[in-house]
Amino acid sequence: MAVVEAEQVPAGLLPGISGPLDLQGLSNADLQRLACEIREFLIEHVCETGGHLGANLGVVELTIALHRVFISPHDLILFDTGHQAYVHKMLTGRLSEFSSLRQSGGLSGYPSRAESEHDVIENSHASTALSYADGLAKAFELRGLSSRRIVSVVGDGAMTGGMCWEALNNIGAAPERPMVILLNDNGRSYLPTVGGFARHLTALRGRGVDGETGRNLFRDLGLEYLGPIDGHDIAAVEGALQEAAAMNRPVVVHCVTAKGRGYAPAEQDDHDRFHAVGLVDPATGRARHSGGRSWTSVFAQEIAALGEERPDIVCLTAAMLHPVGLGSFAARFPQRVFDIGIAEQHAVTSAAGLALGGMHPVVAIYAAFIGRALDQLIMDVALHQLPVTIVTDRAGVTGPDGASHHGMWDASILPVIPGLRVAAPRDSAQLRGLLREAVDVSDGPTVIRYPKANVGADVPAVRRYGTCDLLREDPGAEVLLVSVGPLAGECLGAAGELAAQGVAVSVVDPRWTTPLDPSLLELAGAYKLVLAVEDNTTTGALGARIAQALASTASRTCAATFALPPRFLPQAPRDEILRAHGLDSGGIAATVLKRLTAMSAGSGREA
């Protein structure tokens, strides 16, 4: 991590907190003052850097209480999901680094084992902490480490994911393995939490039991239950956590909190209580800069238009209605959109059921999360040749959310699925057109992928070749750049730079990257060097598949992939990451020249 200069933190209690032990001697009045200082600090700094604001404003008192009862890192504190760990970071010695939050080389927006011994797991994907806790409890039992306690902070939104219930099924059956499950119930993930479990939590907020049935689901599963507790009352939360720890068995401590607490613009935001913000004016909560037109907004417009034309089109989201662009569709067709909670596996198989029932489902999901439903996509959708369209937003490099949110795996993994078609639009016109082509497919699944970025100007084609678009066709060219999705502009820029150096280059956009169009292979076979330029990992990339296909025909064309390395990439602005890996016009041109030089040297040795 880059060295960050210490900030000028106003005098108060907060600058004196260098670690959890510094909380122990504070009076109740001091703790209340500290909570106010933390909120002020969060609002000031997160509005400056961007990040997850609303969720962290809601866990201030809860986190203070956690660190007063449990002794981290001897006791393990797990966050689910990790975006609610900002206060934890502040109380564990990272206050002076907050100006670097989510910046290149700076603090991660999630727990990070590289940052601190207090960060146990780097879970930025929901519903995982209870499974980690179950495994840790088993390990501690086997190793005789009974003095180490495990506490999982789990949001009610995360509890809509199936892994939580798979873990609870095991945890409830093992009363001899103690752990504390702090249920942070703010009634929301982005929008209000959905489903039968959300209704049960609403009932529990009254007396700890369902008023109609007298039941408590956690107790029925074999866990102890304490609550409901006011999650903004430090003393009450402390008392409940101490009682839970003393029980020496699995215990749920149900804390009710308010997302965005203490910041009026967040409390008044019906969409998501400022779940995640860009750069905003802390006084008003308004964005400091008006953003350009995003890929997500183009999808939002087109799917709403398709909804008007096609009554069979239905949409599904995994608790991210507005972030994936389904807000307009939901407003027009509320009966045809389904928020199924943070349950990607269920979303895909539910979509399969909708397709079996005669609908054409569109599942809008982040590219980083589609891996969670890979088995369902293979066995429940593709095997049945069902017309389900998956829209993977945030594909490729996403930027400040870091390794866990880069959508750089889907385009390498999905092509192995028989019958699946994958499209990567280069501009807004292609996104609209490819989405329409996708929902017209009736004999198998389709995927449309695009990045988290502003969409640029439309890139016209010289001519159509099969299902591909030729974007530049230089006479006598021996080099073909295969531009994938929005990298078309950089490839055209590289072709211009190379032409200025006397190297003729053609550029083709395959549009559909899976399966390989025979016309693309025919076109590629006419060139000396074919370089596929992609923003996914090199393993399983389009260029490798082109090379394999050409090799099977004994073609003398040299085909290769120019993509991201097969490793977890750190947080940084999207353009910075692409440039660092040579995926800008200058880097692409340099790679072409390097390969041509190597090919010429090889030919010279053969001669």
Annotated catalytic residue within 177, 188, 259, 336: 259
Among the options 61, 115, 344, 437, which is catalytic?
344
Instruction: Provide the b/e sequence for 19-37 (b: ≥16 CB within 10 Å).
Output: ebeebeebeeeebeebbeb
3 state SS of 313: strand
In 10 A of CB 331, how many CB atoms?
Answer: 10
User: Could you confirm whether 259 is annotated as catalytic?
Assistant: yes
Token pair for 374: 């890979």
Tokens representing 84 are: 């609610």
* Sequential DSSP letters for 384-453: TT---EEEEESBB---TT-TTT-B-SHHHHGGGSTT-EEE--SSHHHHHHHHHHHHH--SS-EEEE--SS
CA distance 562 to 570: 19
- Core vs surface per residue 300-314: b (16+ CB within 10 A) or e: bbbbbbbbeeeeebb
Q: How far is CA 112 from CA 86, 118, 119, in A?
A: 11, 9, 6
Strand partners, 561: 532
Q: Could you give the maximum distance between any two Cα atoms of the chain, in Å?
A: 87
Q: In this structure, what are the phi and psi dihedrals at residue 511, rounded to the nearest 5 degrees?
A: 65, -65
Asked if 425 and 455 count as a contact pair (C-beta separation under 8 A), the reply is no
d(CA 267, CA 580): 39
**Nearest CA among 42, 58, 38, 39 for reference residue 50:** 42
Which of 70-80 are b and which e, b meaning 16 or more Cβ less than 10 Å from the residue's Cβ? bebeebbbbbb
CA distance 590 to 202: 60
Closest CA to 382 of 441, 467, 312, 451: 441
Phi then psi for 242, rounded to 5 degrees?
A: -65, -40
578-595 as b/e, with b when 16 or more CB fall inside 10 Å?
bbebbbbbebbbebbbeb
Q: Which residues pair with 468 in a beta bridge?
A: 465
Rounded to whole angstroms, the Cα distance separating 126 from 132 reads 12
Under 8 Å between Cβ of 424 and 484: yes
Task: Say which DSSP state 516 is in.
Answer: P
Active-site annotation holder among 68, 177, 336, 372: 372
CA 60, CA 64: separation in Å to the nearest integer?
A: 6
Strand partners, 559: 530
Q: Is 344 a catalytic residue?
A: yes
Active site residues: 259, 344, 372
